Structure formats: C-alpha cells, structure tokens
Structure 1
Amino acid sequence: MDKNQAIGLVLISVMLIVYMTFFSPEKPKEQPKPKATPTATVKPSQTPVSGPVDSVQQAQQRAALGAFGNVATGTAQKKVLENQNLKITFDSKGGQVDEVLLKKYKTWNKKPLILFDQTSSSTEISFRTQDNRVIKLSDLYFQAQPVKTINTKQGQSQVLAYRAELATNQYIEQVYTLPADSYLVDYKLNFAGLNDLVANAPLQFTWNDQLKKVEKDLNQNRERSRLNYMTAAEDFDHIAGSADEPEVATVEEPLKWVANKQNFFTAAILADNSFTKGTFKASFSALDTTEVKTFSSQLQIPAQDVLAGKGDFSFYFGPNDYQILKQLPADFQKNLDLGWGVFAWVNKLIVIPIFNFLEHYFTNYGIIIILLVVFIKLLLTPLTYKSYLSMAKMKVLKPEIDAIKEKHPDDMQKTQQETMKLYSTMGVNPMSGCVPMLLQIPILFALLNFFPNSIELRQESFLWAHDLSTYDVFARLPFTIPFYGNHISMFTVLMTLSTILYTWSNNQMTTIQGPMKFYSYLMPFMIMFVVNSFAAGLSFYYFVSNIVTFIQQAIIRRFVDDNKIRAKLEENKIKNKDKKPGGFQKRLQDAMKAAADREAQQKSAGEAPKKRKR
C-alpha cells in the first residue's frame, strides 16, 4: 500500500462514515414518556351490536344523517377474502377492512403476522351532503353480496361487494377484488344516483395506523419506518417523526400513493387517478416498546370521480420485496430503500439480479452471500489486478524512494518533488493504485443499503446468527459502550480482524511510513464501532470479501514478477529521459514547486529582519 493507496483508503473510510451518518435513517431521540390520564376510546366500527336500536336512537340517527339515516342501523357481520398470501377480514359496518394477515410471514416471536387490525389501525371515508351534513361510511351498515370468483388479467380473483341502498337506483357501493397470488387488493368506491344528495366537495380519506411491533430490534425498525408518498408529478418524499415532536407535512398537489412503510412490510393505498392533496403526521413515544410509530394520513378524493364511477383505488398489504414492488405503478418500488442515486442502480442492475439467481439454486443464505462475494470479486478482478500492480511497482521503487528520503530528511517538499520526478521518469502513475479502490465505492455503498433492507434475509439463520437481517449477538455485555452498544457481533469482529490482516499484507509492499501507516490500522477499529449494530449479513459479506481479496492477491502475486517490473521501469526510464511530464503529473509537480517557492520566500522574508537587527 503506497501513499496514494493509503489516501484512497482514507477517502473511502471518510466517505463511508459520512454516508452512514447523513444518508442512513435518523435514529430516534430519547424522550421521557408523558404521563397520560387513562381514557376510554371506542371506535365506531368496534361498537358491539347487542340488539335492535330503540326507536328514539333510530330517530336521532335518521335526523343526524338525513337521507342516509335508513342505512344507519343494522348488525355488523364479517366477511373474508383469502388467497395464498393474504387473509383479509371485512366488516359490514362501514364496509371496510377489519384485519389483514400475511400468511407467508411470522413476527419475530413466531406469531401470526397481522399487519392491520382494528385495535391499532383504522380507515375512514367521509363526505359532505348538499344540505351540509358530514357522513362517515363507518356510521352506515352495508349489505354484503356473496363472494364471487371471476377471471381477470391476474388470473382467478375473489370479489366482495358491499352496498348501502338508500332508495331505488340510489346506493353507495364498495367492491374489493383480491387476485390470486397477489398482495394488492383492488378497491372501487361508487356513489350511484347520488348527484343530488352529495355535495361537489372532496371526500376525505383518513388512515390512522399504529405500526405493530413485528421485529425484535425495535430501534432498527423505528429507524427504517417512514410514511412515504408519491405525487402525480413523480416527486417522492417521506416523513419519519421523532420522539421529541411529531413531524407534519402538507402536500397541496395531486398524489398517486401513500405508504406506511416499516423495515420489511408496507401497508399502502394507491389511486388509479389521484388524490387532490394530503396531510401527513408521524410520531412515536420512545419509551413505549409496544409501538413502532404512529402514522396519520388525510387524503382528499375528488367527488366527481366517485359520482362518475371512477373511484378506483388499490390497497397494498405486503413485503418490501423488490421483485413484487417493481410490478406496481408510479415507482412504488421506492418504498424499498436501495440507496441514493448510482448506489440504487448498482443494487437494481447487479446485486439483486445476482442474489435472486443464486436463490434459485441454494436455500442457505450464508452460502448465497459467499457466492455473491465470489461473483462480485470476479467482476472486479481487473481493478484488483491493477491495484496490486501499482503496489508492486511501488515496492520495486522502494529503494529509490528511501534514498530520496535519506537525501532530504528535513525537507518534505523537496522529497515529494524528487519522488514525483522519479515517478514521471519511470512511467508510474501515482494515482493508479487509488483510482481502482475508488471505483469500487458504488458497490460498497450499495451493499450498505441492500443487506439491512433485504427481506430475503429476514429470520434466516447462519452459524450463530439467528437473523441475517439484523446484528448477530455472540455475547451480551453487562454495560453499554458508547457508539458500540451492549453486545458483541462476532461477524463484525471477524470483519475487523480480516481487514487488519488485509492491511498488514498490503503494508508489506508499502512505501508509506509514520502516521498514515498507523491510520491504516486504526481505521478498521473505527469502522467496527460504526457497523456493530448493522445487519449480520453485511458484516459477514465484508468478512468473506476480505478473505477472498486476500486469496485473490496471493494468486495475482504468482503472476507478477518483480524482476520483469524492474526491467519495464528501466525501459521507461530510458524512453522518458528527455520527456517532460504532462497531464496530472505536471500539474501536481507545478503545484508542489509553487508551494516550495512560497515557503522559500516566506523563510527569506523572515530571515531579513533578523539580519537588520544584528
């Protein structure tokens, strides 16, 4: 590892820490939980129906709801739509979703994964009438039609229709369609024959969702839980909230979808047309271990869409799986955080396709990670070879470089000038060892987003790690170390040790001395503190990557002959004897010469007053 490669390592390390500081999700701030006075809250849809409503109450309800009063009484009944992915329960009171069970997944403690239920989540649609009344669908009783099976583009689908009849040819209809092998539920809201009753004002869709704790690591889940939204102009944004105060956002332009996104699962609503505007709120209590976050959304639906039979929407209840999300419209795959800019494209075009290909042939995800390392390392072999060749050249030139240092022990600038002249004469580019390392940064940063967000690794064990999507706990500490935590992640320790071994191997060929050499050993320890609570799959990947790189260099070493390199450099020396440096090397030499001249002028200016004083 020469000076320029060491600089490259420093740059990579600094960029790594900066990236994880500014581009990773913000950690929740601790805040004492305020004491709350217990209150009893009963949602309208949860009100038990114990018998017929008395005539006085009926009269009051009819008076309050006007023309909609005759559908304000009834008995709540449950209906179910089910495919191989979802089991969705509906309530005839309001005709809305009551509970959503994800059949292929379990919670961290192996319980059924219920993503949505009436104890933690609620949706509501309200509208204004011509006589200025506000009607909520949850106040109305709908009659459920028998569940039908129909053929659609997605194959066979189950259809559940709810209807609240006001009069002949006047009704509110809600139709849910669940295709086979899908996490998407089509939803149609239709106001038939109600143009004279419903005001031409936007309908209000309200969704309050207290995210259920489905992962063991509550802090990690909170850090990666966000309320995401996409505008019709394809502008993506989110709010995350904090323990200190709620985060609120108002969007005054049309919206395509809104998603309550957790680490690995998302509940969302998508509009075929668009919502006219939206208001969002995110919050949580740091001390409430039963709550991840609470998201609230208020969306406006154009009344004319619903009156014209164009109130078409979809609900998504499912995993943050790229292969599933990318099939949905309006860039819905952005709910999976694959990184910023070029790093996301590296994941989409390289990492995910390779990972999914390996999944077809292997079921052990530790083996898949090892093979992923081998494939990517083979892909980067030309860069690895170029980097090693640069180190070999520096090793061959080490005697000359040491001689220059001995010649000018107290003049750093003179040493650098003559070293650059030596490089130019020998035809060596001092940046050739740094550039290959920098070119690998996109893959390095892409993997920082891939592993913590890969649902494929969720609850997948390997060796002592019970879940590769979160940190492995080899041992618990009886105390907490700042920036490190209260656990020892063995994969992180192995990654650190292998990095030190790799650094030591490179330093055997280095011309670098002093603080920079010390820093090359210090950096792995600094990174260890940063990644100790990162996904075990990520630490394991870097550990295997270091070992494979070490083996790669051992193989390359067999094909690199120092004598041949020396002969080539001597040829360059003769060829470049009278050649003036150009390009980057010339600019670097000019800059160093200018710095030396300035230093000499400053020194002479300082010595002049001393002579006059004598």
Structure 2
Amino acid sequence: MEQKKLDLNSIIGFVLIFGIMIWIFYQNQPSKEEQAKKAKQEQVQKVQQAESQKPLVKASTLDTAQVVNNPLALGSFAYSATLPSAKNDFTIIENNLLILKIANKGGYIAEATLKNFKQFSKDSNKLVKLVSDNNAGLNIQLQTKDNRVLNTKDLFFEPTLFKSGKNQILSMKLKAGENQFLEYKYILNENQYMLDFDVRSQGLSTVLNTTKPADLEWDLKSYRNEKSVKYESIHTELIYEYEGGKDSYLGQAAEEKTIEGLSYVAFKQNFFSSILLTNKPFKTSKVSSQNLVKDDKTDTIFTKNFKAILPLAFNNGEIDYKMNWYYGPTDFKILNAYNRNLDELISLGWGIFGWINRFIFIPLFGVLGSFIPYGIAIIIFTIIIKLAMSPITYKSFLSQAKMKVLRPEITELNEKYAKEPMKKQQETMKLYNKAGVNPMAGCIPALIQMPFLYASFQFFPSAIELRQKGFLWADDLSSFDSVLKLPFHIPFYGDHVSLFPILASIAIFFYMRMTTGDQAMQAPQQEGMPDMGKIMKVMIYVSPIMMLFIFNSYGSGLSLYNFISNLITIGIMFVIKNYIVDDKKIHAQIQENKLKEPKKPGKFQQKIQQAMEQAEAQKAQQKKK
C-alpha cells in the first residue's frame, strides 16, 4: 500500500494552526490585576472555611506581625490586612495650636502635642503632650454574626488626607471589602483645640451582630506636667455631663460609675484636658478613675488612670456618630466659648462662690492681666477687692468697739448672775437693747466676707493665666515658690521652703491678734461650756502654722493674694481703730442711748427672748414640783 507523504502545503497549515492556538492561549491569560484579585478571593474563601473548622481567635491577643501574616485572625476584615496601609505608620495633622499623630493600626490619636505650652517650666525644651508613648488608647469592640469579637485597636485602617478650605480632613477606614468599612473621620480647623470626630460604618450590617451596641473604649494615663505632682494630682479628675446638662465628677479615690445619657467625658489634667463630646448621648456608659500618686516622692510620672466605656448604638444596622475631641488648656474663656457646658471643668465653686468667681474675679482679673504683669495684677486685684469690702470691715470693727465699751457691764452681769445662766442671758440681751448694740453686727460683716475668701481658694488654683508667669523670686505663680531645698522630707510640709506662705502666715497671725484677740476677751464663759476665750487665743497661733503647712506646696499666686489681703486688712483696721473709731465717743453714745426709750427688739431677738422666758418658766415649775 502506498504511504502518503506530507507536502509543503500541509506543513504550512500545521504551523499556522499551532501559531493560532498559542495566540489564543496567550490572549486568554488573566492580567496581573485579575490574578491578584483571584488570589485574594481564594484567600478569603480559605479563611472562611478555616473559621468554621477552627476555634475562635481574638485579634486582641495578636501583635502586629501576627495580624499581617495571619488574616484568619481578622475574620471579616481580612481584606484590610492586604492593603498597603497594613503597617505601623502614622499620619500627622496640625494647626498653629495642636499637633495630632494618628496611627494606621487602630486609627486612633497616638500623640497629641500642644505647641504653645511647655512641661514643668517655661525654660523647658519639652512641649506638653497629653497623649504620647502609649499612655492612651481608643478601641471599638465589634462582634460578628458568628460570635467572634474583634478589636479595632489591633486592626489596620487606610488613611486618606485632604484639605477643604481651612479644614484638614483625615479619613481612616477599616475595610472588610471594597465598599464595606468602619470609618474614623478627623476634621481639624485652624486656631482650634477642638476637632470633629465622626464614626460611621458602611455595609457591615451583613457582617456584624447589630442587636446590641458596640463598646467604644477610651482610656488615658495622665502625664504629670507641673512642678508639684501632689498639687497637680489634687486638681486632676474625671468630669462628665449627663441627662441633658447635669454635670458631676469622680473623686480622688479609685471610683467607678455607671451613667445614663452621657454627652461628654473629660479627663482633666489640672491645667489641660482631653475631652470626648457627642451630639447623640450615650445610653449607658461606664467611667472610672484611679489615683496613681500614692507617694509624691516616687510616683512622679503619672497622676491618674482614666477610662470610659461608651456604647455606640446601631441604626439600621450601621454606626453613625458625630463627635468631637478637645485636646487643650483648661481655660475658662476658651471652654466657655464653645457653649457646650465645658466651663464646668473649671472648679469655680458652687452657688454664691461660683457667681463671685464668674462675674467678679474672672472679668476683673482678666482686664488687669491684659496690660500688666500677673504678679502686679494680683496685688492690684487684691487692693480693689479689699477696698470694696472696707465698709463691711468698718461695720465689723465698729461693732467690736461697742462690745469693748460694754465689756465692764457685761462682766458685772456675769458675776451677778453667775448661778443663774438663763437670767444672765436675759439681762445681757436687755443691756444690748438698751445701749442700742447688736451683738450679731460684728458677725454678719465677717460672714459676708467669707464667700469672697472661699472664692479666692477656688479661683487662683484654676487660673491657667498664672502658669509659668514669674514674680519676684517666684518663677511660676501657679506652683510653689521654693527659696530653699531641704535635704530631708518633713511630713505634711515637703522637702522645700516656700516664702510667700511664710509671709501670708505672719500676716494672718497679726490679723488674728487684732480681731480674734478682742473677741476672745469679749466672749463670756458659759457654765458647762468650753472657754471660748482660751480656744480663740489658741487659734491665733494654730491657724498660721496650719496655713504654713498647707500652702507650702500650693500655688504661690494664692499665697501672694492671702499675704496682700491680710496686709491690707491690717492697714484698714489700723486706720479705723486709730483715726476713725473713737472709744470715748462710742461710750458717750451708748450712755445717751440708755437714757432713751429702748428700741423695739427685732423678730430674731424677740424669738430668743421668748425662748429664754419659756425655758425659765419651765425651770421654775420643775423647782416647785
């Protein structure tokens, strides 16, 4: 049988067919982008299969390397581990007041620096940092539909920074897919310590369990920023607003509270604060505070440990909250300007004490401090307050002078009715009424001055204007004015000597000698009662010593105010005693009043007389029985 041979045309046909097949095979190969997408889909499928077979692994237990290399731990957010941002990197946004450093991992503020404030002293080269070196954290706990718990602090966000007018806008997205994500949006404007902070989710209703809120956890370990860690710790506290305008705080001891309708929580660090505010109040929140200064000689880095757990409710399966962060000074003018009730962070005192600070002290001191050095401003401020109070001082001293003139007659009544205390009181009241002297007149002016004294104890420790402002030997009027460093520590006093508290203690000693001394001589001893005269004499010496110990570590501005205040009062009383009040004229006036018809006693005196008469009548009836 004859074999067929391949001719030239057959060979050319085979070559063409083979070439066409190679071309078709090459054209049908997927591109690099398609290959990457396919690989990612295969990876997610493997993760989902493995998740159904393996036990639960919480992302919070993994470090950065584990999170990147083990997408299984991310569950539905495995997509985020494959993004270019899945590394320990940061994005910085800043204005002329504030520098914020936001981490890819966790999407939270890893560093908050205040540009215009220095730590400890004005000569320091360190700026105040409210957040730094992992002293703060932000985390949202998410629960998936298959009951896994994921923590955003361990997951990687994708940053996108852009500008809109004067605003810097940073979007941080934690992605579970191309159109599935949790977003933190930071919006910082110029000349502001306050920034917008929005938290929202998109497309996660199919991934997350939305039957209960997701907990936002915010914690901060507050750094010490002032010279006196003890003084700073006293004024470092957690403050919060709830139920549409009420405000409260946690005390100095370790404390935890559950709060309904919380609208802001503030971690106040004496002169600086970190605040989280929300337009949509959190339903049931938990806040806690722990004091970290057990011993001010060794606990010198941190003051308090704060924590807040805030529930983010789902709406139609998604999270959507408009919030704000504030990182800045605890300054009354700045906080009050926001009209968000943030002025409550400044401890001005309650009731009348707060009114005095808000409407008298703050405006007056603000005007003085705007054009003269703050040390001089304190002195002029004190002079104005004391001169305004001088008529009350005059009334008080005049009453003391009248009581002094009546002292011989009161002593005579005490001796005459020594065994009849009720009768002695009645006759003494009659003498006061006949002489036209009100024994309460000396107390009432003193009581009127007390709110101003208490208000000053609230105002000066809160005045950030005094921070790192010097006067004479004091380099910081908001802190102690140490003139001598001791080689040892005195309990309740410290290891330094402050001069302004010494001057204030000397001034208060002489002031009490002029006032309490006379009152001690006038105070009659009642049968069965302590000798008030002796107690008052002891207080003349005890009070200055107590003040010396208490104020040694307090702000020198407050001690300066007390020193000048008592000095001026001593001067005013010296002038009144020696040039205005005449004991002979007062005596003559009292004798003239005795000849007149006694004034009708006031309602208060009438009630006292009636009470004494009833008591005397009951006593007489008991004797008859």
Structure 1 partner of 2:249: 238
How many Å separate the matches in 1 of 2:65 and 2:381?
Answer: 55
How many Å separate the matches in 1 of 2:617 and 2:499?
Answer: 53
Q: After superposition, give the CA deviation of every residue in 1:452-479 in whole Å (9 maximum; x if it has no partner).
A: 2222222222223333223333334555
Contact 1:230 1:255 in 2 (8 A): yes
Structure 1 partner of 2:11: none
How many Å separate the matches in 2 of 1:43 and 1:560?
Answer: 78
How many Å separate the matches in 1 of 2:291 and 2:539?
Answer: 41
SS of the residue 1:539 aligns to: helix
Structure 2 partner of 1:91: 103
Structure 2 partner of 1:137: 152
Aligned positions of 1:61-140 closer than 5 A: 61=73, 63=75, 65=77, 74-108=86-120, 110=124, 111-140=126-155
Shift of 1:202: 1.3
Shift of 1:548: 1.1
How many Å separate the matches in 1 of 2:544 and 2:611?
Answer: 35
TM-score, normalising length: structure 2: 0.78
Shift of 1:86: 0.6
Contact 1:72 1:139 in 2 (8 A): no
Shift of 1:290: 2.5
How many Å separate the matches in 2 of 1:264 and 1:523?
Answer: 32
Shift of 1:213: 2.0
Contact 1:396 1:562 in 2 (8 A): yes
Structure 2 partner of 1:344: 354
Contact 2:89 2:104 in 1 (8 A): yes
Shift of 1:595: 6.1
Contact 1:227 1:295 in 2 (8 A): yes
What RMSD in Å do the two structures reach over aligned CA positions? 3.3
How many Å separate the matches in 1 of 2:517 and 2:86?
Answer: 83
How many Å separate the matches in 2 of 1:595 and 1:478?
Answer: 62
Paired residue type of 1:522: Y
Structure 2 partner of 1:185: 195
Shift of 1:480: 4.9
The number of residues matched between the two structures is: 547
SS of the residue 1:93 aligns to: coil
Percent identical among aligned pairs is 35
Correspondence for 1:522 among 524, 538, 541: 541
How many Å separate the matches in 2 of 1:248 and 1:536?
Answer: 34
Aligned positions of 1:560-579 closer than 5 A: 560-577=581-598
How many Å separate the matches in 2 of 1:388 and 1:412?
Answer: 28
SS of the residue 2:522 aligns to: coil
Aligned positions of 1:500-539 closer than 5 A: 500-506=509-515, 511-512=521-522, 514-515=533-534, 517-525=536-544, 527-528=546-547, 529-539=549-559
How many Å separate the matches in 1 of 2:510 and 2:315?
Answer: 68
* Bigger Cα Rg: 2
Q: After superposition, give the CA deviation of every residue in 1:281-337 in whole Å (9 maximum; x if it has no partner).
A: 3334525433322222221111228936x4111111111111122233542222222
Aligned positions of 1:63-462 closer than 5 A: 63=75, 65=77, 74-108=86-120, 110=124, 111-150=126-165, 156-200=166-210, 201-240=212-251, 242=253, 246-251=254-259, 253-285=260-292, 286=294, 288-304=299-315, 307=318, 310-363=320-373, 365-404=374-413, 416-462=425-471
Contact 1:71 1:166 in 2 (8 A): no
Paired residue type of 1:238: Y
SS of the residue 1:440 aligns to: helix
Contact 2:161 2:168 in 1 (8 A): no
Correspondence for 1:492 among 469, 476, 501: 501
TM-score, normalising length: structure 1: 0.79
How many Å separate the matches in 2 of 1:580 and 1:232?
Answer: 52
SS of the residue 1:462 aligns to: coil
Structure 2 partner of 1:8: none
Point out which structure has higher relative CO (alpha carbons under 8 A, 6+ apart).
1
Shift of 1:146: 3.3
- Gapped regions of structure 2 (runs ≥ 5): 1-58, 524-532
Shift of 1:44: 8.8
Paired residue type of 1:206: E
Shift of 1:355: 1.4
How many Å separate the matches in 1 of 2:542 and 2:618?
Answer: 34
Contact 2:80 2:175 in 1 (8 A): no
Structure 2 partner of 1:612: none
SS of the residue 1:463 aligns to: coil
Shift of 1:360: 1.0
Shift of 1:541: 0.9
Shift of 1:176: 0.9
How many Å separate the matches in 1 of 2:600 and 2:75?
Answer: 96
Structure 2 partner of 1:14: none
Shift of 1:425: 0.4
Q: 1:74 to 1:499 in 2, by over 3 A?
A: closer
Paired residue type of 2:135: S
Contact 2:106 2:138 in 1 (8 A): no
Contact 1:65 1:133 in 2 (8 A): no
Shift of 1:536: 2.0
How many Å separate the matches in 2 of 1:306 and 1:541?
Answer: 59
How many Å separate the matches in 1 of 2:454 and 2:511?
Answer: 20
Paired residue type of 2:101: T
How many Å separate the matches in 2 of 1:240 and 1:259?
Answer: 14
SS of the residue 1:307 aligns to: coil
Contact 1:148 1:158 in 2 (8 A): yes
SS of the residue 1:255 aligns to: strand
- Gapped regions of structure 1 (runs ≥ 5): 1-41, 151-155, 609-614
Contact 1:72 1:140 in 2 (8 A): no
Structure 1 partner of 2:603: 583
Q: 1:63 to 1:552 in 2, by over 3 A?
A: closer
